[in-house]
Amino acid sequence: MKPPLSKPTAKQLWSAAGLVLLSALLVGCPKKTASGGGDNCTDEFAAGQPQANVDVIKLCRNEYISVYDPQRKVPLVVAEKLQPNEFDGSVSRADNFKPDPDLSAPQSASLNDYRKSGYARGHMAPAADFTSSDEAMNQSFYLSNMVPQDSGMNSGIWASLESATRSCAKQLGSLYVMTGPIFEGKPKTIGDDQVAVPSSIYKIVVSGNGARAFILPNRKLPPARSNFLRYAVTVDEVQRATGLTFFPNGGVNLQAHASFCGGSYGS
């Protein structure tokens, strides 16, 4: 006759719960491949993971990290350590837009949300940053790297700002770049999944302890091939607009307008 099964102790129950919690924390943060390099989910951040006042999912990719808001169905921050060897390759643009494989359907936008919405699927980490790797290029088309963006802005001044940032990275050797949406009040949404439409989009570019930051309204804007100063702000202003803390480990000047790469940004 088998002895009766004993009840698990409190210690055993806490241990099992801990394993479940650890497994949950690791979901959505797959290990980087060798082409990503470095720590598997921190090396794209300049000074620690940006902190948000809402629940987020950290999605780690070969050459960028998306700090993603599953309620709004958009990333709050997409971070890159941008280096010339990542964008000096010959990989062609993929245009293979698709939901992020590490998000469940209720957490993710869908392609149908953007169809006939009047908005482009706006990359936060641009595809042109990843021409050295097929995998990195394909990952850039995950919808977890997109926000609904005005089409004219997307293909006009915003594309020019992205190009200016690559030019700056080529000049300096590497940069940390953070990009994401700003919402004012209750945002407009698109599609059945109610994907939030940002009122503005920001970009923060960091070299050393200095940062250049820009906020551009999410609408068609006059072209600015080489002068983005009308949109220049401080990191502190972006933090106030977003509610995010971008550099929790410190070491980056939040109040000053840095002056590096004047030829790329207009001064």
First-residue to last-residue Cα distance in the chain: 85
The answer on whether 154 is annotated among ligand-binding residues is yes
Residue 187 in contact with residue 197, Cβ under 8 Å? yes
> Residue 247's Cα: distance from chain center in Å?
14
Mark whether 123 is an active-site residue. yes
Residue 178 in contact with residue 246, Cβ under 8 Å? yes
Burial class for 167, CB neighbours closer than 10 Å (0-12, 13-18, 19+): middle
Beta strands 119-123 and 146-150, pairing class: antiparallel
Q: Quick one: residue 242, left, alpha or beta (phi over 0 = left, psi -120 to 50 = alpha)?
A: alpha
Residue 200 in contact with residue 217, Cβ under 8 Å? yes
How far, in Å, CA of 29 to CA of 173, rounded? 27
Residue 196: partners with Cβ closer than 8 Å, 6 or more residues away: 69, 72, 73, 74, 147, 148, 181, 183, 187, 188, 189
Query: Which position among 123, 166, 203, 212 bears the catalytic label?
Result: 123
Binding region for Mg(2+): 154
Active site residue ranges: 123
Binding region: 154
